[in-house]
Structure 1
Amino acid sequence: MSDAIELDAYLQRIGYHDALSPDLSTLRALAVAHAAAIPFENLDPLCGVPVQLQPAALERKLLHEGRGGYCFEQNLLFAAALRAIGFSVRGLIARVLWNQPEDAVTAQTHMLLRVEADGESWLTDVGFGSMNLAGALRLEPGVAQATALEPFRLLEQGGEWRMQACVRGDWLTLYRFDLRPREFIDYVVANHYVSTYPSSNFVLHLIAARTTRDRRLTLRDREFTVRRPGMEPERRTLRDGAETCRVLEQEFGLRLPDRDVLMRRLDALPAA
């Protein structure tokens, strides 16, 4: 299946106007622009709407309808844009360990990308929500690598890799993975699980995130948080579905879907 997309529409959506070349500087700049412009959000699973991963569906939702999405949508779209520019891109899959014990056995439910640029391999990931990479990491273990926000690093043992971020002085693992390229069907199966399984966080909770050059915005149910490097997080609890919609529109830049259905679901969310 071809993953070709409307590159001009993508560049307009993320506000990218510089020259394009399949090199590291372009890769990093695109990742930063993408993370700031296209928020992480799970409104479709929350409202019982199927999540489609075909290129036409991604274009319609993320480029033309003013929506965001979660890892499969975000990284499939990003991969298609990178390939259109001339990058060599392979999709990987990971087991999420964020807020989990290091030895937890979790399902393979997260997508990330391996990209070749400037004669080296890089990892990029515009779909990890509250800890979005918004950049690219050299595929090199044990080295802290700076980003505009937190430093990240990769660890490797026996062919298994871990992605970590330094959060307030502690190295925390986001997920573990290997370097075997995955097929589109692997993401289709994982997407179906996380978007329909009754106990999935994406079915039970509202989750939204947006990463800019100087802050991270997150929303889980009605708790809205702004995090800036070196500063205490700013948190506030939203009153109801109406205020939640305003935050989704104003802070995350989302054009909301069916408001009646969404309002009923938001009003049913826990207050904290």
Structure 2
Amino acid sequence: MNAHDTSIDLIAYFERIGFGGPARPAPTLDTLRALHLLHPQAIPFENLDVLLGRPVRLDRESIQRKLVTSRRGGYCYEHNLLFRSVLETLGFRVRSFAGRVLWGREASEMPARMHMLLLVDVDEGTFLTDVGFGGMTLSAPLALQTGLEQITPHGAFRLDDAGGEPHGYILKALVNGAWTSVYRFDLDPQYDADYEMANHFVSTWPQSIFVHNLLAARLAPGKRYGLFNRRFSAHDEHEGSAHRELGDAADLRRVLENELGIRLPDSADLDAALARLP
């Protein structure tokens, strides 16, 4: 992707996420916050293409066609590359980085840098911006400041000093009263070639979590929805969390389409892939 290519269809994107502001809003913190809240509530996180053995294409046209026109979802590279394109078209200064996913791992593990995230510079400072981390996706940008509890529409987060590496940070979320690590990152710049390499790895490596498992998620006002294989979770900020096991492919289809808001791909292999899920 060329940072100077402004071929993104802003009208279609704004319609997709339900943005009712001006046709070309100013590159301000208020605009960033508004778009960051709407995007993960409208465009779901999902890995159906990987599960179906289809390539995940990261060129701007393919991402726009899939996530906007076809009303599908995607995973971190697709979400954050789309969001980066929108922000750059609006005149924001955006920088691209990579994170090591700590969520669900042992504290001693040091995984590879396989997650894409953005930093956006506005008059008020630099903000971590990330619309593509599944069930724990941020719904607001976070100031790049350590030790500060930051309240978003979907929970409290903070950035800690990673220690042992220059300009290293750990993103943490307040979950059930405990600060839980989400991912760590540093300020080593990443380029589109880096994401192409990582994307190929996570979408084809046999041990990748995305290859043999179904992952999907979406935010809604006051809620987080998540699906891992047949286990569907819904977290309500007032009512707490609820989980249920889904049955056959038809049950999975209903949840993917209704709660998660995915227009399912037209594929004869989809039901077979869903039936194979553990």
The reply to whether TM is greater than 0.5 is yes
Code of the residue aligned with 1:74 in structure 2: it is H
Question: How far apart, in 1, do the equivalents of 2:19 and 2:247 lie?
Answer: 36
Are 1:176 and 2:184 counterparts?
yes
Q: 1:212-253: CA deviations, max 9, x gaps?
A: 220000011111110012533111111111110111111111
Question: How far apart, in 2, do the equivalents of 1:14 and 1:179 lie?
Answer: 29
Shift of 1:94: 0.5
Segments ≥4 residues shifted beyond 3 Å: none
Aligned to 2:160: 155
Task: Pick the aligned partner of 1:164 from 159, 172, 177.
Answer: 172
Aligned to 1:139: 144
Q: 1:207, 1:220 within 8 Å by CA — same for their partners in 2?
A: yes
Q: CA RMSD in A?
A: 1.1
Are 1:89 and 2:122 counterparts?
no
Question: How far apart, in 2, do the equivalents of 1:182 and 1:260 lie?
Answer: 37
Task: Pick the aligned partner of 1:12 from 5, 10, 15.
Answer: 15
Aligned residues: 270
Are 1:72 and 2:77 counterparts?
yes
Under a length normalisation based on structure 2, what TM-score does the superposition of the two structures give?
0.94
Question: How far apart, in 1, do the equivalents of 2:88 and 2:193 lie?
Answer: 19
Shift of 1:135: 0.7
Question: How far apart, in 2, do the equivalents of 1:153 and 1:56 lie?
Answer: 34
Q: 2:98, 2:114 within 8 Å by CA — same for their partners in 1?
A: yes
Q: 1:168, 1:230 within 8 Å by CA — same for their partners in 2?
A: no
Code of the residue aligned with 2:18 in structure 1: it is G
Question: How far apart, in 2, do the equivalents of 1:228 and 1:180 lie?
Answer: 36
* Identity across the alignment (%): 46
Aligned to 1:28: 33
Q: 2:219, 2:225 within 8 Å by CA — same for their partners in 1?
A: yes
Aligned to 2:194: 186
Code of the residue aligned with 1:114 in structure 2: it is L
Are 1:240 and 2:262 counterparts?
no
Shift of 1:260: 1.9
Aligned to 1:211: 219
Question: How far apart, in 2, do the equivalents of 1:101 and 1:238 lie?
Answer: 28
The answer for unaligned runs of 5 or more in structure 2 is none
Q: 2:158, 2:171 within 8 Å by CA — same for their partners in 1?
A: yes
Shift of 1:28: 0.9
